[in-house]
Structure 1
Amino acid sequence: MLNSINTNPGALIALQNLNATNTELNTAQSRINTGKKVANAKDNGAIWSMAKMQSASSSSLNAVKDSLQRGQSTIDVALAAGDTITDLLMKMKEKALAASDTSLNTASFNALKSDFESLRKQITKAVDNAKFNGVGLVDKSAKALVFLANADGGSFTVNAQTLSLEGLNLTTALASFSTVAEAGSMIGKMTAALLTATNKLSALGTASTGLDTHLTFIGKLQDSLDAGVGNLVDADLAKESAKLQSLQTKQQLGVQALSIANQSPQSILSLFKG
């Protein structure tokens, strides 16, 4: 090997190795500090881009969950109103049946008639108040509600189920009686109204179950996306910690090797001693 004071190949090689070790050490320290092996596009452009897109999809699902949960609340309010309405219909049927008794005196008949009409009015009140955030599914003006189903803007539709007097065919003109005979005929109408109400509530219940199932799926999908992103960009801290220890030792050895290599030119001085 050429003995020169201008060029020290050994020191150059030692310096190159030390610089490489320092670069690896900085990378390991960055991964430990951030918890990520791909923290930005510079680390790995393809993986970073993929992770960003999946993170965006996961984040978008928060809006989907909010929409579906709003749908749940709207249906729950409608079902609560439906329970009240079916109870009122049963009481109305009971009043009509009682009023059909030919042995009643006029005062008793009129009292039953008044109770029947009062219960009918309560149905309207229940329907009008069955709204969540100003939106209802059972009033006469209710329309199908469309909620978000996925991050691409897909929809989940819940059909309205009108439980108003019009929807139950119990308007004032159709659901009233003035005679015992009319009270008797009202029993069949109340039975039909109950059947209609329960069928509509059953449809709402089915929609609610579907909404719950889809919401559960969205939650699992979001968790899977988050886990997938983590697999792409998260650092294995146990592995990085072990690597850090190894690189720190390698760095110390590199410094010593460079120091030894830098001392080599001094051996040339011995050639000039007499």
Structure 2
Amino acid sequence: MSSSESGFPIEYQGFKMLITLVEPQRLHPHEEIIPPNLDKLKASIWRDGFQASPIIVDQETLVVLDGMHRLATLKDIGCRFILSCLVDYYDPRISVETWCRGLRDRGVDPLALVEDAGYPTHPSGDRWGESLMLATPEGWHRIGGELGVEEAFRALVALEEEFKGKGFAIKHISEAQVEEGLASGTLEAALVPPRVGKEQVVSYALEGRLFPPKSTRHVLPARPIDVNIPLKDLMAPGISLGEAVDKLVGALSGLDVEERPPGATYHGRVYSEALIRFKEA
């Protein structure tokens, strides 16, 4: 871990994490937020009175890998510190996948809709890569020719609106769920964004450039949950960051840690990662 940070270290099968507090102005998000989601999350956090799970942050650059909406919400309500889990982003066990847009059938040919929106399509033998794709049970199609990454994501946002306008139900799903949904017939099609490399995530964030919401899906060996730090400790007027971190470490030291293997369900979502759950001793 970075020598400049202190906190509560945890480890899962050699993968090291540091739970700590970071001042929000030092953090660099890499994706935009969805305003309606922000409103719902703010209401939920105020109701609960705590930040349940830390955001995931690169230990060297303080680029936020996961938790853009939590960061924006906590900043908005006046938190001086953000509960964060610092990781070595360049650990090869951390992968960057895409959040795909699963499309449910509404009686409209998705391939024709894409082309009618002004984006030519081309059959492709490739699947996951640098291009925006439309995946259907009949095959995969590259959208818009050789689009650059920024152009591809702009096209993705525009096409999401086109599909919504035609009454399609759109759901953010993993790459594995695309394959499963097309094979089982539960999906009519899926919009598959280009994959983004770690270097690009970091460079965009440090330059203040943001990808659209749900552009990347960071998969870790494990992530902490149920840390449950009260908002009053995150707002904490009149104490230093060091004092706040010391209080955090003291609180976590009194809790038990439970490991849940990959495939566990938490709040209705099945996680492909192991979960490190904090609970009362």
TM-score, normalisation: structure 2: 0.17
TM-score, normalisation: structure 1: 0.18
Q: Which has the higher strand share?
A: 2
Structure ID, larger Rg: 1
Q: Which has the higher helix share?
A: 1
Q: For CA contacts below 8 A with separation 6 or more, give which structure has more relative contact order.
A: 1
